[in-house]
């Protein structure tokens, strides 16, 4: 049987786009202060999960909701399970958008909204690939299970809970990265230095805050400083204005008597690619380090200054490069200091290749900045490096589909980003971004090209069928 997958997607383009638009309207950011027994990660992730599962019910699939943590949409029967993993949660929208991030806008053949490329758009493309197979009544010899998560951008507790109740698929992919394929992912661990929230110099750091998530480069940083005098406050403002004029940043400094309130703006990026962003927090710390701070505030500023531009962990003494997996990267993603209150800390998120581990990273950090730090917290639950060989039939089949539909040669890729693909020993990430794409994941004005969205759906339909038949 010859199936014109491109035509099948063409016949459903309007429905696919309409479903995606409605899904993108759901503000599915994790909100810990709104967690309930019914909404384990807050109402947004729950509502988006329910919305996606409702599409499966509408279209006649077997659907299961696992206590609003995760769920699945299922088709076919067989002894083996092919897993497809998407997620409905998104990182916080943040500032800098030209449009409302939860009112999808189609412009220049792109759809703009938070989640359009990570991961609601790719998930919808893969879902429609499965929907086509069902609607055509194509025979399959395996059970196909589209697993829908709701905490991928945070702790993956959705998958922990889901797999306490459901069996693990035998093999599969996550439509949550790039084509031709991602068959390797670096390890992922966060290490958090903590500080005393004290002062002691002639300048006092009242407050410093930056970052939304460990896996996002901080776009905004704010600080409140009390200076020795009104004249000193004015001088600090003048110095700050000169500093932002000389660097790739922007910002404001407001003087209120002896107090100065600073806001510095950089550029967000995915924490797996910190070199693509401009870290507002470390730029602000570099500016502040020239003033007379003392106590824990001085140590906090010194540490943040120390890691400025240190996206490969060189200043921290933990740099590592593997021939296959490439360089370790480090994103300084969260910063919090309030004078007199407990809990002053930073979060360094590492994406590390094989050949190193979290113990080695912690030891290097302790040696590098231990004199500044009150304690060092190392994330207990973390993911080590993951790799599926090119000769595995899963990898070779997916690359063959990609090559047939694009005319381009397939090749392996290893990334710092973490996807649900690594949940399975034989799991990879497959699309939906094509080579040469503009990466707007975790950034303002996130978008996906409609041409790429529909082209990905074509590839997913063929790939799912080949893997399942």
Catalytic residues: 89, 152
Q: Which residues, including other chains, have CB under 8 Å from residue 130's CB and lie 6 or more apart?
A: 73, 75, 84, 144, 146, 460, 461, 464
Characterize the bridge pairing of strands 81-87 and 171-174: parallel
Q: Is 167 exposed, middle or buried (0-12, 13-18, 19+ CB in 10 A)?
A: exposed
Q: Is the peptide bond before 144 cis (omega within 30 degrees of 0)?
A: no
Residue from 368, 228, 374, 205 nearest 287 by CA? 205
Q: Answer whether 23's CB lies under 8 Å from 51's CB.
A: yes
- Cβ–Cβ under 8 Å, residues 239 and 233: no
DSSP state of 42: B
* Cβ proximity of 81 and 145 under 8 Å: yes
Report the SS3 class of residue 323: coil
Phi then psi for 93, rounded to 5 degrees? -65, -40
Q: Could you tell me which of 215, 147, 197, 210 has the C-alpha nearest to residue 427?
A: 147
- Cβ within 8 Å of residue 47, ≥6 positions away: 26, 28
Alpha-helix residue ranges (DSSP H) falling in 307-392: 358-369
Give 320: exposed, middle or buried? Use CB within 10 Å, 0-12, 13-18, 19+: buried
């Amino acid at each position: 049987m010859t199936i014109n997958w491109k035509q099948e997607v063409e016949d459903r383009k309007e429905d696919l786009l309409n479903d995606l638009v409605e899904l993108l309207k759901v503000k599915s950011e994790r909100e810990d202060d709104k967690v309930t027994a019914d909404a384990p990660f807050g109402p947004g992730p729950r509502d988006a999960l329910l919305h996606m599962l409702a599409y499966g019910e509408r279209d006649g699939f077997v659907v299961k909701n696992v206590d609003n943590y995760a769920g699945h949409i299922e088709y076919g029967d067989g002894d083996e399970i092919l897993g497809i993993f998407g997620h409905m949660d998104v990182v916080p929208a943040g500032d800098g958008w030209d449009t409302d991030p939860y009112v999808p806008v189609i412009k220049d053949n792109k759809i703009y909204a938070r989640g359009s490329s990570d991961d609601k758009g790719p998930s919808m493309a893969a879902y429609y690939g499965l929907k086509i197979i069902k609607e055509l009544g194509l025979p399959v010899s395996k059970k196909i299970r589209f697993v829908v998560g709701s905490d991928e951008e945070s702790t993956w507790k959705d998958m922990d809970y889901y797999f306490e109740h459901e069996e693990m698929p035998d093999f599969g992919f996550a439509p949550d990265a790039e084509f031709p394929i991602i068959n390797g992912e670096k390890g992922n661990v966060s290490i958090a230095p903590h500080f005393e929230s004290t002062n002691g110099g002639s300048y006092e750091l009242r407050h410093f805050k930056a970052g939304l998530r460990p896996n996002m480069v901080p776009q905004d940083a704010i600080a409140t400083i009390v200076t020795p005098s009104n004249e000193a406050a004015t001088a600090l403002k003048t110095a700050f204005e000169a500093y932002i004029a000389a660097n790739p940043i922007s910002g404001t400094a407001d003087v209120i008597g002896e107090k100065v309130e600073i806001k510095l703006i950089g550029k967000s990026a995915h924490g797996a690619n910190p070199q693509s962003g401009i870290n507002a927090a470390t730029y602000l710390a570099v500016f502040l380090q020239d003033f007379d701070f003392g106590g824990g505030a001085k140590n906090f500023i010194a540490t943040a200054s120390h890691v400025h531009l240190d996206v490969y962990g060189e200043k921290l003494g933990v740099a590592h490069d593997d021939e296959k997996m490439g360089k370790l990267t480090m994103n300084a993603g969260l910063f919090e200091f309030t004078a007199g209150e407990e809990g002053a800390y930073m979060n360094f998120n590492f994406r590390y290749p094989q050949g190193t581990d979290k113990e080695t990273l912690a030891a290097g950090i302790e040696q590098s900045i231990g004199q500044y730090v009150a304690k060092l917290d190392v994330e207990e639950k973390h993911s080590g490096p993951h790799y599926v060989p090119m000769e595995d039939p899963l990898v070779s089949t997916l690359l063959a589909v990609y090559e047939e539909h694009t005319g381009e040669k397939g090749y392996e890729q290893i990334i710092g980003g973490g996807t649900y693909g690594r949940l399975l020993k034989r799991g990879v990430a497959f699309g939906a971004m094509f080579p040469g794409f503009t990466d707007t994941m975790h950034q303002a004005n996130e978008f996906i090209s409609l041409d790429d969205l529909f082209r990905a759906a074509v590839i997913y339909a063929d790939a799912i069928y080949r893997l399942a038949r």
